[in-house]
């Protein structure tokens, strides 16, 4: 109880730093943009607990997805009873276990029988391994994960990548991670996103690999190898998101203090950063994997309803990107 009270106080404090803005403000705008779009036929993989099944059904009721439930019949039916969900309106594909569910869903996407994939109650490694093993889902670009973070104290959506797929990305992988994140920012309404390449410091040091990678990525952007956004780095987290911190350190940059995208050194750093924003700053977190032939909705079992809906809305905007570009992000 003490921990819950402490988290509540921290969340309230974070929200109070941005008068007039509540958690989920940006997500609500994404949801409004989907109202005229056709829902995505989505394979929901192994939704065998009440939370993952309810999340899919809530997204269906919000007209974001048309779920195809893939997994063991007895476990999905048990989850439906627990969640008081009637399965009759929904298509189901019965499989023996979670491995088979992931493989079957990947095959459905490869055969274009579904337009998106959604993680249910199975481990991310198991879910993504089946997708990576299906060559028909691959593109020329490396797959990467993006957290789309709606933080009450920050004036714009904050994209953090990669925090779930690429553990220790090479420089080549980081280039694709940046390209994927820029593409998503465009879809969400930011025409020229500011990309901060994060490290522990804001100067280049041969002893810290992430600073060298940041410098190379900036040069790649300068040479036209990465386009569509404004890159700067290395930047520490504080001077990436705070103008005051950037000015205090004498950093002159179009990105510093106003980042739209944070590219982290590795999965560990990204995952911890995102979870800290969620649990200490009252942020909501949506997740999606890019670089495949279909959007991949990567939710956590701990995600709140709005975060699950936002993940589905982002996937829908990606899939229908030509019809979804209406109002640009407020800058």
Tens of pLDDT, residue by residue over 110-138, are: 999 999 999 999 999 999 999 999 999 99
Q: Give me the sheet containing 65-71, strands edge to edge.
A: 91-94, 65-71, 40-45, 116-119, 296-297, 284-290, 144-150, 158-161, 261-263, 194-198, 230-235
Helix H or strand E encompassing 296: strand 296-297
Q: Does a structural domain hold residue 108?
A: yes
Cis peptide leading into residue 168 (ω within 30°): no
pLDDT band of residue 9 (cuts 50, 70, 90) is very low
C-beta separation of 298 from 289 below 8 A: yes
Output the average pLDDT for the chain.
Answer: 90
Whole-model pTM?
Answer: 0.89
Q: What is the mean pLDDT of residues 260-271?
A: 97
pLDDT band of residue 326 (cuts 50, 70, 90) is very low
Return the pLDDT at 292: 96
Q: What is the mean pLDDT of residues 252-270?
A: 97
Q: Does a structural domain hold residue 52?
A: yes
Structure tokens, 225: 């190898």
Q: How many domains does the chain have?
A: 1
Q: Is the alpha carbon torsion for 236, 284, 228, 140 positive or negative?
A: positive
* Domain span including residue 40: 10-145+287-324
Q: Does a structural domain hold residue 151?
A: no
Return the pLDDT at 1: 43
What is the per-residue pLDDT across 78-87, written as a single tens digit (0 to 9) for each? 999 999 999 9
188 vs 11, residue with greater confidence: 188
- Dihedral over alpha carbons 164, 168, 174, 176 (to 10 degrees): -50
Helix H or strand E encompassing 66: strand 65-71
End-to-end distance of the chain based on CA atoms, in angstroms? 39
CATH code at position 141: 3.40.50.10950
What is the per-residue pLDDT across 148-180, written as a single tens digit (0 to 9) for each? 999 999 999 999 999 999 999 999 999 999 999
SS (H, E, C) 101-151: HHHHHHHHHHCCCCCEEEECCCCHHHHHHHHHCCHHHECCCCCEEEEEEEC
pLDDT at 13 over 50: no
* Cα 140 to Cα 308: distance, rounded to the nearest angstrom: 28
pLDDT at 322 over 70: no
Q: What is the mean pLDDT of residues 296-322?
A: 89
What is the per-residue pLDDT across 297-306, written as a single tens digit (0 to 9) for each? 998 877 778 8
C-beta separation of 267 from 163 below 8 A: yes
Nearest to 182 by CA among 122, 236, 225, 125: 225
pLDDT band of residue 222 (cuts 50, 70, 90) is very high
Q: Does a structural domain hold residue 236?
A: no
pLDDT at 221 over 80: yes
Q: What is the mean pLDDT of residues 46-74?
A: 96
Q: Does a structural domain hold residue 227?
A: no
Return the pLDDT at 5: 41
Percent of the chain with pLDDT over 70: 90
Q: Does a structural domain hold residue 298?
A: yes
pLDDT at 330 over 50: no
Q: Does a structural domain hold residue 282?
A: no
Return the pLDDT at 69: 98
User: How far from the centroid of its chain's Cα atoms is residue 294's Cα?
Assistant: 14
- Dihedral over alpha carbons 265, 266, 270, 271 (to 10 degrees): -160
Q: Does a structural domain hold residue 309?
A: yes
pLDDT at 272 over 90: yes
């Amino acid at each position: 109880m003490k921990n819950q009270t402490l988290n509540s106080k921290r969340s309230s404090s974070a929200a109070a730093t941005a008068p007039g803005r509540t958690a989920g403000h940006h997500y609500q705008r994404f949801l409004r943009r989907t109202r005229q779009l056709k829902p995505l036929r989505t394979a929901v993989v192994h939704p065998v607990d009440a939370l993952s099944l309810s999340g899919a059904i809530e997204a269906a009721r919000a007209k974001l997805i048309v779920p195809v439930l893939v997994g063991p019949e007895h476990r999905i039916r048990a989850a439906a009873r627990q969640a008081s969900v009637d399965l009759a309106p929904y298509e189901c594909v019965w499989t023996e276990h979670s491995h088979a569910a992931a493989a079957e869903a990947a095959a459905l996407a490869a055969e274009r029988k579904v337009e998106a994939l959604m993680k249910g109650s199975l481990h991310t490694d198991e879910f993504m391994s089946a997708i990576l093993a299906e060559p028909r889902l691959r593109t020329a670009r490396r797959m990467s994960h993006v957290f789309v973070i709606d933080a009450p104290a920050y004036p714009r959506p904050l994209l953090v990548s990669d925090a779930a797929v690429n553990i220790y990305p090479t420089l080549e992988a980081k280039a694709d991670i940046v390209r994927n994140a820029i593409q998503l920012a465009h879809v969400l309404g930011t025409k020229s996103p500011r990309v901060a390449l994060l490290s522990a410091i804001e100067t280049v040091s041969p002893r810290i690999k992430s600073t060298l990678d940041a410098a190379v990525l900036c040069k790649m952007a300068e040479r036209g190898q990465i386009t569509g956004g404004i890159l700067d780095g290395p930047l520490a987290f504080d001077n990436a998101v705070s103008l005051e911190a950037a000015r205090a350190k004498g950093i002159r940059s179009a990105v510093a203090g106003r980042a739209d995208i944070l590219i982290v050194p590795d999965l560990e750093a990204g995952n911890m950063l995102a979870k800290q924003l969620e649990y200490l700053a009252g942020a909501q977190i949506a997740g999606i994997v890019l670089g495949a032939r279909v959007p991949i909705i990567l939710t956590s079992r701990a995600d709140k309803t709005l975060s699950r809906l936002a993940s589905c809305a982002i996937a829908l905007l990606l899939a229908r990107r030509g019809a979804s570009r209406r109002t640009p992000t407020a800058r």
